[in-house]
A and B are shown apart, each in its own frame.
Chain A
């Protein structure tokens, strides 16, 4: 990338601009480096967490898929993958349903105590997980919810709710209310108007909120440590014990698969954001 500088720039200006660029790229490297390290290491034929001389030489024999095969052959990992999806999907459904409903209410200008309720609804994002986990352990044990899927699902739903609220209220804040009234004025019932006019417009916000909720559950380990029985171990829980007990490169293979999922999610989200901006752009033309 060649940079154009205004004519009045002195040597020091240019040095400043270049050092800024350099440090920015350094930070970007710092951010991305761990991910760049994990992907190739997961193909290591040796059971080490480091690059072997063979890997550096790009010798094909130094690479293998053995750790990926190890995931499939290990019942614990397969159970963990299944559990992660079960808990994640149901927690997402709950969080998205309650969260979207509440976000529509919160976006109404008639909503009383808006600020207080908002702060309360967003607090699961702020309160340290260890506190939530300890409290849930005490409370859910009393109702025999500890060690069950139900317990884990509602716990994860609570954690995902703030994300749904944030994304849906953000979409609604750019929502032109006159579209809703236009629908009403054409003789449509409020419910039908909501379904046919409002829902399609806030859908990107709902979907990205649901994705955040899913990722939150998919990545969560503290609550699982306290609430899940051995039958409900999830992927992060399995990784946690793997990292604590015997470190095994299978974890790197799992980590690489998770990175792949994150990339897919990120691209979907980016697509949704652009779509939402385009839809809103149309409003401004009208």
Chain B
């Protein structure tokens, strides 16, 4: 029950409620509403600020994952004349001439490359067809294109006589598409329009699985390293614990890029660890540690370890040491006392830390990008790749939307079991 409904209930069910006149009851309610509004008024500026700086941008990304205006904006007239085509055989000559006119216009605007790139995603191999045809059409007379555009197209390239390219135009011309999501899920539509597994390349599902696997390994490593340290700190004299806690918090406060730089310096072929091992004659030739999955996992474990230690430490601090003593006085050996008494009591901190580490590592970008090489890449890195290098923003948005759904589900679990406001900052 929220405080408000509680108070409302109190007003109506209170023994004195019968003694209050209806005016007094409504007065009390009005007072309550006023307080509620004051509290809300303090939060609203921030909500508005966050809406414009954070929520709306993410909404735009979600929208981008189904919104595909490029082709529709480039060849609007061709697309509207293609509506009359039944998809069987070849479209009318008028449609083809319209396409020729659109392409001439685009060629003069230097936008045919954009069209070629977009259509190519739907029918691989089309890019060169469109570019070469557009080049040939550029110098043709407008009047002639209207009358003989279809002939020009067919003369420029055989592909224009196949229905596939026209079907691809229609597909690419849809303003709203599920195509990006299908690609992101390694699916495709067959000729009959049914969804099936993509036959050519299957990369994204594998990448999601790999990301989850790496996040699990990192979480487990953090647990393995964090648990004994948190236990030691929680049971050490408070002076010692406070001093040592600084050693935990210092890396937590140190810039992420500084820590990543440090790992590069240590793991490089000619780096600190390799020189040390060579000079101690443990190895004869340097190990290749940087730019692998291993380096991503070790650097991320290091970066996320404090997120595991802090909640574990604060839970362990609250466990009464006499519990263990009681168990042992009843005859339990330390290991079994630990397993059946102490460990269950640490589960809240353990799950809070593990969930947080897992959530953060699933969406991590910087460290894999810098130390991951090719096989340490995670899903965020492929999203960045599609944003910056392949310029396939729709696909980036679809991959991002799937990642967002995953993260929000985990966040919901976290909020339910731990409470979002219980994130430990030191």
Residues from 124 to 138 in A contacting B, C-beta threshold 8 Å? 124-138
| Residue contact B251 to A131, C-beta cutoff 8 Å | no
| Residue contact B255 to A218, C-beta cutoff 8 Å | yes
| Residue contact A98 to B45, C-beta cutoff 8 Å | yes
| Residue contact A138 to B40, C-beta cutoff 8 Å | no
Cα of A259 to Cα of B42 in the assembled complex, Å: 37
Chain A residues with Cβ under 8 A from B261's Cβ?
Answer: 38, 239, 243, 251-252, 255
Cα of A118 to Cα of B365 in the assembled complex, Å: 26
Q: A117 contacts the other chain (Cβ, under 8 Å)?
A: yes
| Residue contact B50 to A117, C-beta cutoff 8 Å | no
Interface 9-mer from B53-61, B105-113, B202-210: B53-61
| Residue contact B380 to A130, C-beta cutoff 8 Å | yes
Q: B233 contacts the other chain (Cβ, under 8 Å)?
A: yes
Please judge, given known A-B contacts A21-B232, A266-B246, whether A119 and B380 are in contact too, CB under 8 Å: no
| Residue contact A130 to B39, C-beta cutoff 8 Å | no
Interface size class of B (residues with CB under 8 A): 35 or more
Measured between C-beta atoms, what is the minimum distance from B241 to chain A in Å? 11
Cα of A169 to Cα of B39 in the assembled complex, Å: 13
Cα of A155 to Cα of B425 in the assembled complex, Å: 21
Interface centre among A31, A125, A247 (most CB of B within 10 A): A31
Residues from 223 to 250 in B contacting A, C-beta threshold 8 Å? 225-226, 228-229, 231-233, 240, 244, 246-250
Cα of A69 to Cα of B287 in the assembled complex, Å: 33
| Residue contact B397 to A258, C-beta cutoff 8 Å | no
Q: A23 contacts the other chain (Cβ, under 8 Å)?
A: yes
Cα of A35 to Cα of B248 in the assembled complex, Å: 12
Chain B residues with Cβ under 8 A from A106's Cβ?
Answer: 39, 42-43
Number of residues of chain A lying within 8 A (CB) of chain B = 99
Please judge, given known A-B contacts A163-B425, A243-B370, whether A34 and B266 are in contact too, CB under 8 Å: yes
Cα of A49 to Cα of B346 in the assembled complex, Å: 41
Cα of A239 to Cα of B14 in the assembled complex, Å: 65
Cα of A94 to Cα of B50 in the assembled complex, Å: 11
Measured between C-beta atoms, what is the minimum distance from A108 to chain B in Å? 4
| Residue contact B250 to A266, C-beta cutoff 8 Å | yes
Q: B334 contacts the other chain (Cβ, under 8 Å)?
A: yes
Please judge, given known A-B contacts A13-B334, A102-B45, A123-B411, whether A31 and B248 are in contact too, CB under 8 Å: yes
Please judge, given known A-B contacts A27-B228, A263-B250, whether A136 and B263 are in contact too, CB under 8 Å: no
Contact with A130, one of B41, B250, B400 (Cβ below 8 angstroms): B400
Q: B95 contacts the other chain (Cβ, under 8 Å)?
A: no
Closest B residue to A243 by beta carbon equals: B370
| Residue contact A135 to B59, C-beta cutoff 8 Å | yes
Cα of A138 to Cα of B387 in the assembled complex, Å: 10
Q: B46 contacts the other chain (Cβ, under 8 Å)?
A: yes
| Residue contact A126 to B407, C-beta cutoff 8 Å | yes
Contact with B50, one of A35, A51, A161 (Cβ below 8 angstroms): A161
| Residue contact B255 to A134, C-beta cutoff 8 Å | no
Measured between C-beta atoms, what is the minimum distance from B307 to chain A in Å? 11
Chain B residues with Cβ under 8 A from A165's Cβ?
Answer: 421
| Residue contact B407 to A258, C-beta cutoff 8 Å | no
| Residue contact A16 to B253, C-beta cutoff 8 Å | no
| Residue contact A35 to B262, C-beta cutoff 8 Å | yes
| Residue contact B50 to A31, C-beta cutoff 8 Å | no
**A–B complex contacts, Cβ < 8 Å, 24 sampled:** A28-B229, A28-B247, A31-B247, A32-B251, A35-B250, A37-B262, A38-B265, A48-B270, A102-B47, A117-B47, A132-B58, A134-B400, A136-B57, A154-B53, A166-B423, A167-B425, A212-B425, A222-B366, A243-B257, A243-B264, A247-B264, A255-B262, A259-B255, A262-B255
Binding site for B on A (CB under 8 A): 1, 12-13, 16, 20-21, 23-24, 27-28, 30-35, 37-38, 41, 48-51, 94, 98-99, 101-102, 104-106, 108-112, 114-115, 117-140, 142, 154-155, 157-158, 161-163, 165-167, 169, 212, 215, 218-219, 221-222, 225-226, 236, 239-240, 243-244, 247, 251-252, 255, 258-259, 262-263, 265-266, 269-270
